[in-house]
Structure 1
């Protein structure tokens, strides 16, 4: 990422001669520089947000940089308001932790109402809700005479040895969806036993990227993976040999949210405008990939509804994540 001074010079050259914008955007020269956006979002969500911003008058007025969840979460916690980003989209539990620790985000300047009022906050607004599920390659299952799994515990069966791919919770929050399901269903001791068996079967296929298990299932390198439900639904709809199984332990979910970094007088005013644009204009685009209803007035398409939606009994905090990371490490 270039320094702000360089960004200003580049934009001045690009925007030589003032011009007016339509839609909910405004000229970048009004703010003086591009809005720098840091995000942990998947490619589909990033493209949906870019499309929304471009179609509403902000094309050329922002820079997007993506990170892994743990990388960006650590960066936010370490740098606070000194972070280069003006606008952040990140797993909500990291945003909550950063706000509690450093009070680093501005109140949002627009109103919204969530379906779950307990999740309502003034400093961030959800962009997506993502659920976990078991993903299978039907061709590889057939080739290896494997049974279709019905639950996460099935992935400990010897028949799946070296044919399972999962994500390491130290690198990606996708794995947290799996561990929440195991702890909720089997308690911590039972979860350790099941997770140890899953890791044993995964062998070299314990991944650092949340999308890596799906990619390995797509490629036929493994028969079964754990990943984001909406991605498996999309692959199946496109005719790939991909199917998904909602585990009986539950489809747990995580939200990612948008927040504006409070830099006092140096806060780019366009950051608030873009945050509002992403939520008020972009949710219909985002729901094409992440169908879970989040806001009042939204619905989840019945065809995309999971079989066993569940909520973890404890608040999803950074402290709970660290506890589950320790549990995961003890199972390797």
Structure 2
């Protein structure tokens, strides 16, 4: 009995301590699930901190496919109070689960978006080259994505795998739009053969191998090569003749009824309205009216895929990489 009383006393004390801590700390932290890069997380966090939300939120990061699958599977039961995620996953999750609240603040995006989503970043793809390796090897600079399937580039290219990287989808969209699915399948097969061990699961891995001089050519997010070139690295970029396609990441708020944290709508507005001031420096594709970007920030050959970007379309395009 004495031992039991001690245990009960400890439980009561623990509960009281937790209640005291909760009282001192205020409301529960807002949980934000995100697939964003570190630079984007830092920019959004900085905007929230300046607006008085320091220590009142917590980012938890996932890969794009992991978070996208989680959102679609869990729907409104997801733990997160807010999300930032690729818009095609958000669109598919909304269609399947009707799970997001309409955003109540005014926005002026350049392109129409679902009223439940607030654009955060725009990302374009491009061919990258290591100018030193190109010169040392005496090979031609590719002009198109299809060029990367030529035998002369065997062992010299690195590309991301669409099975695990959303960056690769930018490449596949361009190929399918230009050549159709069957020819794209053949082009991708030759590109994969050329890449060999340099077919990467991460969208940023090809650029890392390019920087290290392990390959001469890579495919990745355009703004990364633009930044490297400005730093004086032997990195340059080529906007492929097939056109430059883009993906958008956006903020969304799960509809949890009475349990929806009222601060989330204010925070979403801050992440977009204030966060974009910093985000556009790293992701320099304008998303809203009034935004200005330097001349090299976006490709002059922008194109839009003729079908809506959905998880179903992604799966269809992923199958094109099956041998």
Indicate the residue corresponding to 2:81 in structure 1. 86
Match of 1:304 among 297, 300, 313: 297
Q: TM-score, normalised by structure 2?
A: 0.91
Indicate the residue corresponding to 1:140 in structure 2. 133
**1:236–1:242: 8 Å Cα contact kept in structure 2?**
yes
Q: Which moved more, 1:287-296 or 1:247-256?
A: 287-296
Matched, 1:105 2:96: no
Structure 2 Cα separation of the partners of residues 80 and 281 of structure 1: 28
Matched, 1:123 2:116: yes
Indicate the residue corresponding to 2:58 in structure 1. 63
Structure 2 Cα separation of the partners of residues 120 and 309 of structure 1: 18
Superposition map of 1:195-206 within 5 A: 195-206=188-199
Post-superposition offset of 1:252: 0.4
Match of 1:275 among 260, 268, 274: 268
Post-superposition offset of 1:204: 1.1
Structure 2 Cα separation of the partners of residues 311 and 203 of structure 1: 30
Matched, 1:315 2:308: yes
Matched, 1:254 2:247: yes
Post-superposition offset of 1:299: 3.1
Post-superposition offset of 1:12: 7.0
RMSD: 1.8
Indicate the residue corresponding to 2:212 in structure 1. 219
Distance 1:15 1:222, change over 3 A: farther
Structure 1 Cα separation of the partners of residues 233 and 50 of structure 2: 31
Indicate the residue corresponding to 1:238 in structure 2. 231
Indicate the residue corresponding to 2:258 in structure 1. 265
Distance 1:185 1:81, change over 3 A: same
Q: TM-score, normalised by structure 1?
A: 0.88
**1:68–1:209: 8 Å Cα contact kept in structure 2?**
no
Structure 1 Cα separation of the partners of residues 275 and 306 of structure 2: 30
Superposition map of 1:284-303 within 5 A: 284-303=277-296
Structure 1's unaligned 5+ residue stretches are 1-8, 17-27
Structure 2 Cα separation of the partners of residues 190 and 11 of structure 1: 64
Aligned length: 307
Distance 1:11 1:287, change over 3 A: farther
